[in-house]
Structure 1
Amino acid sequence: MAKKKIMGVMVLCCLCLLVAGCWDRRELQDRNFVLGVAIDMADAGVQPGLDPEQELKVKETETFVQPNGRKRYRLSLQLLKFATGGAGKDESSTYVISNTGESFFEMVRDMLGQSSRSLWFEHLQVIIISDAVLKQTGLADIVDFFKRDSEMRSRIKVYVTPGTARSLLEYEPPSKEAGGMYLADLIRLHSRNNHIAGSRTDLGYTVGYLDSKSNILLPRIEIADKVVKLGGSAVFKKDKFVGYVDGYAIAGLKFMYGTEESAIVATDCPDHPGHQMAFELFRDDTKLTPHVEGDTIYFTVDINMYGNLGELQCDTRQDDTLDPQYIRRLEVAFAEEIKQNVLYADRVFRKEMQVDSISRFAGKLKAYEPKTWAKIQDQWDEIYPTVPLIVSVNVTIQKVGSHK
């Protein structure tokens, strides 16, 4: 019995030796960590300030012979620099390399000719796509490589820009943090910024919407000189890019769907036009409901909001915020502003874009009225722009702040 125990211990020790350590271990400095990806058309500019002859030489050097397809896209990668003893405090923590082609996988592999280390995508933070690319092809073709590669993560942020995507990767944040991480973090507080479409816009959700043939909203990002701003949204009908909507339409959409968590609503004071007051939302109860009466389909959205009076630029010498009647007038003014915001968003998406944003109306009709949905689902794209929306809003101001 004792011999069996000794043999068992020896076997366990041998097994521990086999499983100890990392058999495929690589040192951090032996990998190039990709933090950001930018996708432009192949004819997009390489670097600002280069003359045409220099730009042509750069393009010829960075790319490869392509026997099939054509030079269609410019793929740019932002790589992390590891700090060295001689690095200056103002030196950028990243650098960018590019390649042109049609297959993103082929371009990535050919970029090993520009990199002294293997390219590692498990820490990829953001994918930025130029709308020039999306006007030429569908979103599904662009993200196919990223959804198949096992190194990609579902939480990668996906943005659309009306400018050159590479220029955003070359942007150096004033905080001196790595650019890809900075760009990805811009959307972190989207629930507190009504003007950003940030809910369910990661790569995983985007792929899920594409698989289910749903409409998609992706955040819009722009750069001008040294100013980067996230706001508004790119709108996709299935995987086809149809245009942009502004931040005010996104705010109305969030109110309609109840996806905001802490919104600010500003409007004119009832007795002092031209002077603003602001309502800070803490909690809401929003319900979007479909109705079918014979052959008529319409939707109602009932919004109840609760929060604080966050700012009042009115003449407080005449107006008393402790007066319940005055507070009720403010509540009515805020409710009207929210209603107009929702109607504006509905008009933009339903009348102008003719796109059921993220297919929320279709989903509600399918859930509440499955028999009706079964009859009209093939004609929904034509029916949706004609479906009325009735909006009801009620605002309750619970506190007026630390000063009356």
Structure 2
Amino acid sequence: MGKLRWNILGIRGNPLATRPGMVKIQEKNVMLRKCWKTLLIGILFTLTLLIAGCWDRKEIENRGYVLGVGIDHVVSSGPKGLYDLDKTPQAAGQRKYKLTIEMPKFNKQEASKEVNKGQNHLIWSGEGESMFAITRMISTKTYFSPFFEDIQILVFSEAVAREGVGDILDFFLRDAEMRRLTRVFVTPGRAEDILKAKLQVEEVNSTFIGKLTANTDKAPYFAGKAELGQIAQALRSNHSFIVPIIVTEDKEVRLLKGAIFNKDHKMVGEMNELEILGGKILRQTLKQGIVVAPNPADPQHTVAFEIYEKKMNIDTSVQDDQILFTVKVILIGNLGENMVHEQDAVDPVFTKAVEKEIAAEVTRSIKAAFSKQQQLKADVTELGDLVHRQHPDYWKNVQDRWDEEVFPMAQLNVDVKIQIRRPVITH
């Protein structure tokens, strides 16, 4: 009986196995066993990959996270004395630039003890002409090599910026680790001083400075952010561009003005606070903020207008091979501050006078920004792109000489209207 059951289940020698139905059953069983074997092998192979770990794993304490980079000219050490030691020789080029990098300290306990001394970061530097070669040379000073995927800021000294930054930026634009959102700044002094400054914050200097541009939308008198990706696009398109100027004072850093770069990638001048306000309107990037003007009740005091809605439009017209820009701006907001408390802010005459003063201030800022760009022959507000869109045929004839010849001769009409919605205190 046992033998019969064994044969019925498909054992060889059973005459029933030769029937067509039983043959198909056996074939299905064989295929099923093969599928299970393949699946089991696949699962085992996958598990071996998961438990193998990262072949290129590197501990966070051993990786040199670069958060900030400063680029200066090398300071001359003066005449060489008889017993001075030679510096490390270079294979090519000259000892022209000093590149300074800032890294965080990963021993948080030690860093917290020394944070008030400004020792929550590490500073390394090297000299040379090639940015790539300098970073590799810095690797010989420490056991962890510079790693740029978390870089926050890139700071140029004004002296370097005025010579041109196009060649220097080539390394930062080619490096696959570099972030396109890296903030770019110019400082009147030494760029390394920005990274080494003892600020009254616990964050690493570069991280704190990188966050400063988050508030520029609320402060229309200060230059907006300039990112490495935006500058790269300007370099490829031979456009002028503007970069915020940063300074340090009394353990604080401050965004001050804007550095204007022409299409040859050289800093040629600055925009002050008033011109920056007008430049944001010409570029149509103004979002919010306040505008301060003389108080019509007493010009010795001021009145502040808070912008919460805006309408901006710029049209172009071509006549006798000359461009005319017509700027129309409507700013709607509140009376944010009245320094003459005795004045009745609800008085319609006073409200109209304030609107007139604010409109005059905004008009002055637009004309000042336009004039400064014409003077420096640098269209940083990208008005040429507007001409390109509205007059493509005309643009083909002037694009190669736009900044140098055509734009400096352009004309400007400005029409600004201010509307104060809430002139009184609401609570």
Taking structure 1 as the reference length, the TM-score comes to 0.90
Query: Could you say which residue in structure 2 is the equivalent of 1:385?
Result: 408
Deviation of 1:53 (Å): 9.3
Q: Which residue in the other structure is 1:89 paired with?
A: 113
Say whether 1:286 aligns with 2:307.
Answer: no
1:178 aligns with 2:204: yes
1:11 corresponding residue in structure 2: 42
Q: For the Cα contact (< 8 Å) 1:191–1:262, is it kept in 2? A: yes
Partner amino acid for 2:99? L
- Could you say if the C-alpha distance between residues 19 and 336 of structure 1 is closer, same or farther in structure 2, counting changes exceeding 3 Å? same
| Structure showing greater Rg | 2
Using the alignment, how far apart are the partners of 1:69 and 1:271 within structure 2?
Answer: 64
Mapped to 2, the partners of 1:44 and 1:250 lie a distance apart of: 36
Counterpart of 2:67 in 1: which secondary structure? strand
Equivalent of residue 204 in structure 1, options 215, 220, 229: 229
C-alpha distance in 2 between matches for 1:111 and 1:86 = 24
Contact 2:246/2:254, CA 8 A, preserved across alignment: yes
Q: 2:365 aligns with which of 330, 338, 341?
A: 341
- Distance of 1:86 and 1:290 partners within structure 2: 61
1:87 CA displacement: 5.0
After TM superposition, list the pairs within 5 Å mapping 1:55-66 onto structure 2.
64-66=88-90
Cα pair 1:42 1:74 within 8 Å, conserved: yes
**Conservation of the 8 A alpha-carbon contact between 1:269 and 1:277:** yes
Equivalent residue in structure 1 for 2:157, among 130, 134, 137: 130
- How many residues are matched? 389
Q: Is the contact between residue 223 and residue 255 of structure 2 (CA under 8 Å) also seen in structure 1?
A: no
Q: Tell me the equivalent position of 2:261.
A: 236
Tell me the SS of whatever aligns to 1:40: strand
Of the candidates 326, 329, 342, which is equivalent to residue 303 of structure 1? 329
Q: Work out whether residues 131 and 160 of structure 1, in 8 Å CA contact, stay in contact via their aligned partners in 2.
A: yes
Which residue is equivalent to 2:377?
A: 354
* Superposition deviation, residue 6 in structure 1: 4.1
Partner of residue 100, structure 2: 76
Map 1:251-330 → 2, pairs under 5 A: 251-316=277-342, 319-330=343-354
Q: Does 1:214 align with 2:229?
A: no
> Contact between 2:296 and 2:350, CA under 8 Å: does it hold in 1?
no
Residues 296, 214 of structure 1: alpha-carbon distance in 2 compared, 3 angstrom cutoff: closer
Give the Cα separation in 2 of the matches to 1:82 and 1:74: 25
Alignment match, 1:161: 187
Residue 71 of structure 2 aligns with an amino acid whose one-letter code is I
Q: Is the 8 A contact 1:284 1:304 kept in 2?
A: yes
Does residue 1:103 correspond to 2:134, yes or no?
no
Kindly indicate whether the alpha-carbon contact (under 8 Å) linking 2:105 and 2:111 is maintained by their aligned counterparts in 1.
no
Alpha-carbon separation, structure 2, partners of 1:248 and 1:256:
13
Look up the match of 1:2.
32
**CA offsets, 1:150-198, max 9 Å, x none?**
1100011111111111011101220121111011112121111223222
Deviation of 1:17 after TM superposition, in Å, equals 2.5
Q: Which amino acid aligns with 1:370?
A: P
Cross-structure match for 2:425: 402
Change (3 A) 1:387 1:94: same
Find 2:141's aligned residue among 87, 107, 114: 114
Match of 2:217 among 184, 191, 203: 191
Q: C-alpha displacement at 1:291, in angstroms?
A: 0.8
Runs of 4+ in 1 over 4 A off after TM superposition: 51-54, 84-88
Give structure 1 stretches of 5+ with no counterpart. 46-50
1:347-383: CA deviation from partner (whole Å, max 9, x where unpaired): 2221x3122114x111111100111112222332212
Is residue 221–residue 277 contact of structure 2 (8 Å, CA) maintained in 1?
yes
Q: Secondary structure at the match of 2:299?
A: coil
Q: Secondary structure at 1:190's aligned position in 2?
A: helix
Instruction: Tell me if structure 2 keeps the 8 A contact 1:278–1:312.
Output: yes
Q: Is the 8 A contact 1:272 1:315 kept in 2?
A: no
Q: What SS does the aligned partner of 2:279 have? A: helix
Counterparts in 2 of 1:34 and 1:295: CA distance versus 1, 3 Å: closer
Write the deviation string for residues 80-105 of structure 1: whole angstroms up to 9, x where unpaired: 11125455523421021111111111
Q: Does the Cα contact within 8 Å between 1:162 and 1:222 map onto a contact in 2?
A: yes
Overall identity of the aligned pairs, in % = 30
Contact kept? 1:258, 1:284, Cα under 8 Å: no
Distance in 1 of aligned mates of 2:239 and 2:386: 13
SS at match of 1:389: strand
2:331, 2:418 within 8 Å by CA — same for their partners in 1? Answer: yes
Cα deviation for residue 299 of structure 1 reads: 0.6
- The question of whether the paired residues in 2 share the 8 Å contact of 1:33 and 1:80 is answered with yes
1:187 alignment partner, SS class: helix
Distance 1:344 1:208 in 2: 26
Q: Offset of 1:304 from its aligned partner? A: 0.7
TM-score where L is the length of structure 2: 0.85
**Is contact 1:217-1:233 (8 Å) kept?**
yes
SS of 2:71's partner is strand
Q: 1:270 to 1:87 in 2, by over 3 A?
A: closer
Q: Hey, what's the Cα distance between the residues in 2 that align with 1:134 and 1:209?
A: 15
* Kept after mapping to 2: 8 A contact 1:197/1:250: yes
Partners of 1:233 and 1:246 in 2: CA distance: 7
In structure 2, list runs of 5 or more residues that go unmatched.
Answer: 1-30
Q: Which residue of 2 aligns with 1:48?
A: none
